[in-house]
């Protein structure tokens, strides 16, 4: 699992760009809020000089009437960004944020503190559905789309106290803090409510993580600054979902791509047994080296996944696990997987748009989405994890 470590204290910060005319930053407009969009914001439109302009609004909800303050935008931009600084009419899902640092102009780590937990999961399901229809080519009437729900997993308390690792920024005047959304500015934070009381900061060395799933239990040595799921319930939920999707049997051959420190490989090796085969490929050298000790039964190869697949010995695999980084597997990897003619592919996705794009590429080669589960591994944020099964 080699995805870049998620950091609740950092929003995506914008690249410097040349101004495109008059700045509208700081201007306020009353708007009606439209649907949720991928990324933790909502679509609204403002009328400026008889022209309609799209604004991506944070801290709002569909159907609300809010006053939005523009935080990024000039006359020449295609769209603007803004914050709902006051709410004229509220949606039923709106709640008081449990964290005092959540809201316009404050910490950028959480997107949905102002939304009930059930409302948050509905929003995430909506985004996943929309991406699968728009980019993945699925029908809105497909039962996998229409019936999609985002599942809770054990290990958080009402969506709080789930981050087992947390990176803080240095606050002005000392202490620790979190950055504003898309900014370098740091907000002093005494207590991050989504972090566990003993959340550790990334550092040197290794730690050991233990996971139980499918009736088995494995321990994994992980770099202290490397990738590992931060929600305590995530590894078990994901392994269980992958095993249920693939139904591995003794003697099966398995290709585990973006294998990280061997989380899926270890449990798959149990299922396929000594007559089976597990090949694990991981781009991060440290994670790959650790997986050798974590999963002695696997054949471990370090290197870029697309490159390794290109030089891997010819042969077919019964099963494939894809757990790519946020940008997805992309065409070269998908087509290299298809060339191995697997019976089943389990795709573990941390980004709905990337999943949808790759599902469309698989469909070009006759692979269809057969099952789909989504998990709320990052409550209070817009992030959602999904496990998809693709077969011919």
Residues with a known catalytic role: 350
Given a contact cutoff of 8 angstroms between Cβ atoms, the answer to whether 138 and 145 are in contact is yes
Under 8 Å CB-to-CB from 320, ≥6 apart: which residues? 254, 255, 256, 257, 337, 340, 342, 344, 345, 346
* Total length of the chain: 392
As a whole number of angstroms, the distance between CA 217 and CA 290 comes to 18
As a whole number of angstroms, the distance between CA 372 and CA 381 comes to 21
As a whole number of angstroms, the distance between CA 166 and CA 7 comes to 7
Beta 186-188 vs 195-200: how paired, if at all? unpaired
As a whole number of angstroms, the distance between CA 310 and CA 385 comes to 28
95-98: long-range contacts (C-beta < 8 A, 24 or more apart)? 98/158, 98/160, 98/193
Given a contact cutoff of 8 angstroms between Cβ atoms, the answer to whether 275 and 251 are in contact is yes
Question: Nearest 5 degrees, angle CA 64-CA 65-CA 69?
Answer: 115
What's the first-to-final CA gap in the chain, in angstroms? 26
DSSP character at residue 5? P
Burial of 84 (C-beta count, 10 Å sphere; 0-12/13-18/19+):
buried
Beta 253-257 vs 319-322: how paired, if at all? parallel
Beta 206-213 vs 163-165: how paired, if at all? unpaired
Q: What angle, 0 to 180 degrees and rounded to 10, lies between the N-to-C axes of helices 263-272 and 285-294?
A: 30
- Residue 109, phi then psi, degrees to nearest 5: -75, -35
Question: Nearest 5 degrees, angle CA 367-CA 372-CA 378?
Answer: 130
| Sign, CA torsion 277/346/244/209 | positive
Please give the distance of CA 224 from its chain centroid, rounded to a whole number.
20
Residue in the structure block whose two tokens are 């959340």: 199
């Amino acid at each position: 699992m080699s995805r870049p470590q998620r950091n609740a204290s950092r929003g995506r910060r914008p690249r410097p760009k040349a101004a495109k005319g008059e700045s509208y930053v700081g201007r306020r407009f009353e708007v009606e809020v439209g649907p949720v969009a991928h990324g933790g914001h909502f679509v609204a439109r403002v009328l400026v000089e008889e022209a309609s302009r799209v604004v991506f609004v944070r801290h709002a909800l569909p159907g609300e009437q809010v006053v939005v303050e523009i935080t990024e935008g000039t006359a020449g931009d295609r769209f603007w960004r803004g914050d709902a600084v006051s709410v004229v009419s509220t949606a039923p899902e709106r709640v008081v944020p449990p964290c005092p640092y959540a809201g316009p102009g404050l910490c950028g780590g959480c997107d949905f503190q102002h939304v009930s937990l059930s409302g948050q999961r509905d929003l995430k399901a909506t985004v996943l559905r929309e991406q699968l229809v728009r980019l993945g080519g699925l029908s809105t009437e497909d039962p996998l789309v229409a019936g999609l729900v985002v599942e809770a997993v054990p290990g958080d308390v009402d969506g709080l106290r789930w981050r087992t690792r947390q990176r803080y920024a240095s606050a002005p005047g000392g202490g620790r803090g979190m950055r504003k959304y898309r900014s370098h500015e740091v907000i002093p934070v005494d207590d991050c409510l989504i972090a566990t009381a003993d959340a550790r900061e990334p550092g040197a060395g290794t730690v050991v993580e233990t996971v139980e799933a499918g009736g088995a239990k494995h321990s994994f040595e992980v770099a202290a600054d490397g990738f590992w799921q931060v929600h305590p319930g995530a590894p078990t939920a994901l392994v269980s979902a992958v095993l249920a999707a693939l139904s591995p049997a003794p003697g099966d051959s398995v290709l585990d791509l973006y294998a990280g420190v061997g989380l899926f490989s270890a449990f798959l090796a149990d299922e396929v047994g000594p007559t089976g085969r597990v090949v694990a490929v991981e781009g991060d050298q440290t994670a790959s080296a650790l997986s050798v000790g974590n999963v002695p039964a696997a054949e471990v190869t370090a290197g870029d996944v697309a490159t390794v697949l290109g030089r891997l010995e010819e042969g077919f695999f019964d099963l494939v696990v894809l757990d790519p980084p946020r940008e997805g597997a992309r065409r070269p990897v998908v087509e290299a997987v298809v060339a191995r003619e697997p019976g089943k592919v389990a795709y573990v996705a941390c980004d709905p748009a990337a999943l949808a794009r790759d599902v469309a590429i698989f469909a070009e080669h006759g692979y269809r989405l057969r099952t789909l589960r989504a998990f709320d591994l990052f409550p209070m944020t817009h992030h959602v994890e999904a496990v998809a099964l693709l077969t011919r």
